[in-house]
Amino acid sequence: MCLLTNNSVMTKMPPWLVRELRSDHAGETGAVAIYQGILAASRDPAVVNFAKHHLGTERDHLALMDRLLPRTKRSKLLFLWRAAGFLTGYLPAIFGSSSVFRTVEAVEKFVDIHYSAQIDRLRLESTHWEIRQKLESCRDDERHHLDDARRRAVGSSGLAVLCWVELVTLGSRFAVAIARVI
């Protein structure tokens, strides 16, 4: 078990929760990098404003995860999550706003499901309500990002974008599985 100091309260975290928070920390690291990648490639004012706005929220989430998870319990592959996140934002930004918004939509849809599963387990076990509340707040922000990206993604997506979105979703699943362990 991991001992967590949060607001001067020592809480014992079961190993499954440490693994989940490790994946959350890795994911928020990647999310910050996604928006940094978008900003590095896009010159579209609407995309830049979108990315700047959501980058601030993701930085807040990462700071929260930094507080929740001791450095020794974090993923050892943060460099990889940063690189993958940056490319996940940069590549679609090269192809335009619709690609960016579809990518963010796919990522946030995955994150919503990921956080919801953790929240449901914490609720079911009636434990760690403070952590659950923080995860619920993060999930609500991610749902806002999802809704915002969905509203901005206009028109139908071509085959290339659909394949990219599927690759992003599979990559997210793979990253979570690895981050839980390493």
What are the average pLDDT values for consecutive 10-residue runs of the chain, which has 182 residues?
A: 41 90 97 98 96 96 95 96 97 93 96 97 93 96 94 83 93 96 96
Could you count the other beta carbons within 10 Å of the beta carbon of residue 5? Answer: 11
- Strands annotated E in the chain: 2-6, 9-13
Q: Are strands 9-13 and 2-6 parallel, antiparallel or unpaired?
A: antiparallel
Cα–Cα distance, 142 to 17 (Å, whole number): 20
Please, which residues have CB within 8 angstroms of residue 60's CB and are 6 or more apart in sequence? none
Please, which residues have CB within 8 angstroms of residue 18's CB and are 6 or more apart in sequence? 2, 69, 73
pTM above 0.75, yes or no: yes
Inter-CA distances, 132 with 21, 68, 86, 121, Å = 11, 11, 28, 9
3-state secondary structure of 158: coil
Q: Quick one: pLDDT at residue 121?
A: 96
Q: Do the Cβ atoms of 47 and 40 come closer than 8 Å?
A: no
Q: Quick one: pLDDT at residue 154?
A: 79
Query: What letter would DSSP give residue 43?
Result: -
